[in-house]
With several copies, the nearest count.
Chain A
């Protein structure tokens, strides 16, 4: 019998190892898997790659990840925090402890979607003719210059949703879904924290992400 519910954070995070690539969903304060993220720092990992829309959200969520220098590479659309002082991760980037790949947000979303959809690469007009396209393959389609972009995949995806059932089907509230649906399909193992695990199957019309993309669901309260 399929039952994707896990009982605690240890079971949720099982198998994440040093050197792993992690996708972390969330936009603004919506859909942030804060319980899972905060479980990372104590795991004594090094050399992590993070694939995350806005890295400063992570700094807000658990700066210990950076304090303990667990992260070596970041793929993101927004590396800079607001304010005059660099955020913790930013100082590490300046010292060269963290390397960085900056990606336009739509290309970021589409590369992750491609990773889950079996599309290894695609052309997009985004960033054509800019410094981000330098040294990359560009080609005209219909008179428009486009850049070749490759899919993103990961070992684990961490996300937050409102509801799950034992099959791993997910219902997102508000704008919780954001990068989560694409990340769940692009990662080998997808771990989801939810407000509620429904005792009955979610009705099909409530399912935003089919359970086939979800490996573990953990009930955990929303953290601020």
Chain B
């Protein structure tokens, strides 16, 4: 039986697509896991929207400078060649199209690339928007990591987003627990699918027409024990 990827595996798979020399912003949640799975022979600069270009490894517990934090409010370190700046400069960098890739989480992605990731319409919850809208319009390529379906098996890849949009027509690639998909003029195009999953079942789990790339292949990832 087909085994969906866990969180670390999804993040690992996304990380393999980060090229040498790339400037990359990772959203909170699964995206930020990609940093630790990036191939070690590649020189990648991770940007943090609160003002770091070149986020390094997490310090040992209790170590590090509490005034040096990333967008997830974690104490971090800097890598060689890192720089620090203020939020206005950071979002000038983001909005100005200087980041090669942003990887974001999402509630829904539509077949035209629309992204919904900031407002799940929870009753009685105040809104939380953060930097997602700026990243979604600013980065040269917007990738999404998310589960293919909700827990109730409703699709997250949809014809039209029902949640409020983060940005219009921006998503280029999606890493799910079942597949890697691109978005192009055809809509969702599966490039990789987990071994053992029927194409028809993937299509059924997808809320919009699904095309399979001519060279669609197996989606595999190393084992990670993330307690998922």
Contact = CB atoms under 8 A, between A and B. Distances in A.
B129 A94 contact: no
Interface residues of A, number: 69
A100 B93 contact: no
Interface of A: 1-2, 27-31, 53, 77-80, 86, 90, 93-94, 100, 102-107, 109-110, 112-113, 115-119, 124-132, 145, 162, 165-167, 169, 173-182, 185, 201-202, 204-205, 207-208, 210-213, 222
Interface string B134-149: 1001100000000000
* B contact patch SS: loop
B84 A175 contact: yes
Contacts of B126: 79-80, 86, 90, 93, 100
A130 B166 contact: yes
26 contacts: A28-B69, A29-B66, A30-B66, A90-B126, A106-B49, A109-B88, A112-B88, A113-B88, A116-B98, A118-B137, A118-B138, A119-B95, A128-B137, A130-B166, A131-B165, A166-B81, A174-B66, A174-B69, A177-B84, A177-B85, A178-B51, A179-B86, A185-B96, A210-B53, A212-B45, A212-B53
B84 A126 contact: no
A210 B85 contact: yes
Given A78-B129, A201-B82, 11 more contacts: A2-B81, A30-B67, A30-B69, A77-B128, A116-B96, A125-B138, A175-B68, A177-B86, A204-B83, A208-B86, A211-B53
A201 B54 CA distance: 12
Contacts of B21: 1-2
B110 interface: no
Interface of B: 20-21, 23, 43, 45, 48-53, 65-70, 72-74, 78, 80-88, 90-99, 119, 124-134, 137-138, 164-168
Contacts of B87: 27, 53, 105, 109, 177-179, 182
Contact of B134 (A107, A205, A208, A210): A107
B88 A182 contact: yes
Which residue of B51, B65, B83, B94 has the most chain A CB atoms within 10 A of its CB atom?
Answer: B83
A174 B82 CA distance: 12
Contacts of B45: 2, 167, 212
Contacts of A124: 95
